[in-house]
């Protein structure tokens, strides 16, 4: 009887290892996958795979509140250049030091830069930069750049101040959860 139990445990363990080697741990860890990355996102977020060039995901809130998050890959520029571009999308005369928070973190296989800022957002029009900008008052931006050895991912969320502030921790957890598959 002990042999049967021992063999059953060994066979079960081998099946489990085979499952993980074929399917990975994302499903077990409740992680989602898009292209070459996996992530964990809060239940309060609506996540849609994007069909637009350079965009991997487009995220809104289940509540329909003014919050839009996009995950980009393969866009141009370094982490610092993109952070500065995002800061430049806010009215400069309103930007005080305590309205802009930039944090950098170095982990084993990636560098993370986070940005949190509030003010008057000048919505960029990438298709036609000369077109008049749409101005949004009392807006916030959460930005994240993840630098892996051979790839960069950019995460940008914009929305009204209160919603951005309420989602700051969720955003941070989301950014830190992203890893290469």
Q: Tell me, what CATH number does 117's domain have?
A: 3.40.1000.10
Give the pLDDT band (50/70/90) at residue 83. very high
In a 13 Å sphere around the CA of 93, the CA atoms on its Cβ side amount to 0
Each residue's pLDDT tens digit, 16-31 = 666 555 555 545 556 7
> Counting beta carbons within 10 angstroms of the beta carbon of residue 98, is it exposed (0 to 12), middle (13 to 18) or buried (19 or more)?
exposed
Is 142 in the same domain as 102? Answer: yes
Which of the pair, 180 or 29, is modelled with greater confidence?
Answer: 180
Spatial contact of 96 and 118, defined as CB atoms under 8 Å apart: no
**172 and 91 within one domain:** yes
Whether residues 22 and 92 share a domain: the answer is: no
Say how far apart CA 147 and CA 140 lie, in whole Å.
Answer: 23
Say if residue 79 is in the same domain as residue 136.
yes
Pair 16, 89 in one domain:
no
- Asked if pLDDT for residue 109 goes beyond 60, the answer is yes
Query: Whole-model pTM above 0.85?
Result: no
Domain that holds residue 142: 32-180
Q: Are residues 66 and 122 in the same domain?
A: yes
Query: Within this chain, do residues 7 and 49 fall inside the same structural domain, yes or no?
Result: no
How far from the centroid of its chain's Cα atoms is residue 2's Cα?
Answer: 50
Which helix (DSSP H) or strand (DSSP E) does residue 160 occupy? strand 151-160
Together in a domain, 79 and 43: yes
115-159 confidence digits (pLDDT tens): 999 988 988 776 676 778 788 999 999 999 999 998 999 999 999
Answer yes or no: do 151 and 118 share one domain. yes
């Amino acid at each position: 009887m002990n042999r049967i139990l021992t063999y059953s445990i060994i066979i079960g363990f081998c099946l489990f290892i085979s499952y993980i080697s074929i399917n990975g741990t994302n499903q077990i860890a409740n992680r989602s996958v898009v292209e070459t990355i996996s992530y964990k996102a809060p239940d309060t977020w609506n996540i849609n795979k994007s069909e637009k060039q350079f965009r991997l995901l487009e995220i809104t809130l289940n509540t329909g509140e003014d919050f839009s998050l996009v995950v980009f890959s393969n866009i141009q520029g370094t982490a610092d250049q993109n952070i500065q571009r995002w800061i430049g999308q806010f009215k400069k005369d309103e930007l005080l030091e305590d309205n802009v928070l930039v944090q950098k973190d170095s982990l084993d296989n990636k560098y993370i830069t986070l940005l949190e800022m509030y003010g008057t957002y000048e919505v960029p029009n990438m298709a036609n930069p000369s077109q008049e900008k749409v101005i949004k008052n009392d807006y916030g931006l959460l930005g994240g750049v993840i630098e892996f050895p051979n790839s960069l991912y950019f995460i940008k969320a914009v929305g009204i101040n209160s919603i951005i502030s309420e989602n700051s921790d969720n955003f941070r957890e989301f950014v830190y959860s992203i890893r290469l598959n």
